[in-house]
Chains A and B, each alone.
Chain A
Amino acid sequence: MFNLTAVMETPLGVAGITIGSLLFFTLILVIGVLIARIVSINVRRALSERLPANERELFTKLVYYGIVILAFLAALPQLSVDLSGLLVAGGIAGIVIGFASQSVISNLISGLFLMFERPIRIGDNINVSDVTGSVEDIRVLSTVIKTFDGIYIRIPNEKVFTSNITNYVHNVARRFAYLISIRYQDDADLAIRIAKEVIETHPFALRNPSPSVFVDNLGDDGVNLTVYIWAPARNWWEVRTDLLWKIKKALEENGIEIPFPQRTVWFPERLEVEQRPAVEEK
Chain B
Amino acid sequence: MFGRYKGTFRRESGEILVEVEEDDGLLTYRRRCGGDKFERILVATMAEVIINPVEPVNLPKDITNFLMIEFPPVMIEPGASRTVYLKFPVEFGVFVESARDIEVVDIFAPTTQKYTLYGTPNRGLIARWYGSEVYAEIPEVDLYREGVMEFTITNTYREWVEVSRAVFRSVDMKIYYGDFVASTATMRVVGPNIAETDFIDAPPRPGMVKSIELYTARKISALSRGYLMEWGLS
Are both chains from one complex?
Answer: yes
How far does the Cβ of B104 sit from chain A's closest Cβ, in whole Å?
Answer: 19
Please, how many residues of chain A have a CB less than 8 angstroms from a CB on the other chain?
Answer: 19
Q: Are B124 and A173 in contact (CB under 8 A)?
A: yes
B122 at the binding interface (Cβ < 8 Å): yes
B112 at the binding interface (Cβ < 8 Å): yes
Q: What residues of chain A lie closer than 8 Å to B114, measured between beta carbons? A: 203, 207
How far does the Cβ of A162 sit from chain B's closest Cβ, in whole Å?
Answer: 23
Q: What residues of chain A lie closer than 8 Å to B63, measured between beta carbons? A: 204, 232, 234-235
Kindly state the separation between the CA atoms of A259 and B221 in the bound complex, as whole angstroms.
Answer: 55
Kindly state the separation between the CA atoms of A174 and B126 in the bound complex, as whole angstroms.
Answer: 11
Q: Which single residue of chain B is at the shortest CB-CB distance from A200?
A: B114
How far does the Cβ of A232 sit from chain B's closest Cβ, in whole Å?
Answer: 5
Kindly state the separation between the CA atoms of A233 and B123 in the bound complex, as whole angstroms.
Answer: 12
B234 at the binding interface (Cβ < 8 Å): no
Q: Are B129 and A207 in contact (CB under 8 A)?
A: yes
Q: Which single residue of chain B is at the shortest CB-CB distance from A232?
A: B126
CB interface residues, A 91-128, toward B, < 8 Å: none
Q: Are A206 and B124 in contact (CB under 8 A)?
A: no
Q: Are B126 and A172 in contact (CB under 8 A)?
A: yes
Kindly state the separation between the CA atoms of A205 and B157 in the bound complex, as whole angstroms.
Answer: 35
Q: What residues of chain B lie closer than 8 Å to A207, measured between beta carbons? A: 114-116, 129
Q: Are A171 and B113 in contact (CB under 8 A)?
A: no
B121 at the binding interface (Cβ < 8 Å): yes
Kindly state the separation between the CA atoms of A172 and B64 in the bound complex, as whole angstroms.
Answer: 11
Kindly state the separation between the CA atoms of A172 and B124 in the bound complex, as whole angstroms.
Answer: 7
Kindly state the separation between the CA atoms of A209 and B122 in the bound complex, as whole angstroms.
Answer: 13
CB interface residues, B 121-141, toward A, < 8 Å: 121-122, 124-126, 129
CB interface residues, B 91-128, toward A, < 8 Å: 112-118, 121-122, 124-126
Q: What residues of chain A lie closer than 8 Å to B60, measured between beta carbons? A: 203-204
How far does the Cβ of A168 sit from chain B's closest Cβ, in whole Å?
Answer: 12
Q: Are B223 and A209 in contact (CB under 8 A)?
A: no
Q: Are A203 and B112 in contact (CB under 8 A)?
A: yes
How far does the Cβ of B147 sit from chain A's closest Cβ, in whole Å?
Answer: 19
Q: What residues of chain B lie closer than 8 Å to A209, measured between beta carbons? A: 117, 121
Q: Are A172 and B125 in contact (CB under 8 A)?
A: yes
Kindly state the separation between the CA atoms of A170 and B122 in the bound complex, as whole angstroms.
Answer: 7
Digit string of B196-234 for contact with A (CB within 8 Å is 1, else 0)?
000000000000000000000000010100000000000
A185 at the binding interface (Cβ < 8 Å): no
CB interface residues, A 207-251, toward B, < 8 Å: 207-209, 230, 232-235
Kindly state the separation between the CA atoms of A235 and B64 in the bound complex, as whole angstroms.
Answer: 12
Q: What residues of chain B lie closer than 8 Å to A206, measured between beta carbons? A: 115-117, 126
Q: Are B121 and A174 in contact (CB under 8 A)?
A: yes
A49 at the binding interface (Cβ < 8 Å): yes
CB interface residues, B 4-30, toward A, < 8 Å: none
Kindly state the separation between the CA atoms of A235 and B62 in the bound complex, as whole angstroms.
Answer: 11
Q: What residues of chain A lie closer than 8 Å to B124, measured between beta carbons? A: 172-173
Digit string of B30-47 for contact with A (CB within 8 Å is 1, else 0)?
000000000000000000
CB interface residues, A 168-187, toward B, < 8 Å: 170-174
Kindly state the separation between the CA atoms of A55 and B218 in the bound complex, as whole angstroms.
Answer: 24
How far does the Cβ of A120 sit from chain B's closest Cβ, in whole Å?
Answer: 15
Q: What residues of chain A lie closer than 8 Å to B122, measured between beta carbons? A: 170-172
Q: What residues of chain B lie closer than 8 Å to A208, measured between beta carbons? A: 116-118, 129
A201 at the binding interface (Cβ < 8 Å): yes
Scoring A50, A203, A234 by chain B CB atoms within 10 A of each residue's CB, the highest score goes to A203
Q: Which single residue of chain B is at the shortest CB-CB distance from A210?
A: B116
Q: What residues of chain A lie closer than 8 Å to B59, measured between beta carbons? A: 203
Q: What residues of chain B lie closer than 8 Å to A201, measured between beta carbons? A: 112
Kindly state the separation between the CA atoms of A274 and B167 in the bound complex, as whole angstroms.
Answer: 76
Q: What residues of chain B lie closer than 8 Å to A232, measured between beta carbons? A: 63-64, 115, 126
Kindly state the separation between the CA atoms of A206 and B60 in the bound complex, as whole angstroms.
Answer: 14
Q: What residues of chain A lie closer than 8 Å to B118, measured between beta carbons? A: 208
Q: Which single residue of chain B is at the shortest CB-CB distance from A207?
A: B116
Kindly state the separation between the CA atoms of A230 and B124 in the bound complex, as whole angstroms.
Answer: 13
Q: Would A49 and B113 be within 8 Å (CB), given that A173-B121, A173-B124 are in contact? A: no
How far does the Cβ of B169 sit from chain A's closest Cβ, in whole Å?
Answer: 15
Q: Which single residue of chain B is at the shortest CB-CB distance from A174?
A: B121
Q: Are A203 and B121 in contact (CB under 8 A)?
A: no
Kindly state the separation between the CA atoms of A172 and B126 in the bound complex, as whole angstroms.
Answer: 7
Q: What residues of chain B lie closer than 8 Å to A204, measured between beta carbons? A: 60, 63, 115
A contact set with B: CB distance below 8 Å: 49-50, 170-174, 201, 203-204, 206-209, 230, 232-235
Closest 4 CB pairs of A and B: A203-B113, A207-B116, A171-B121, A173-B121
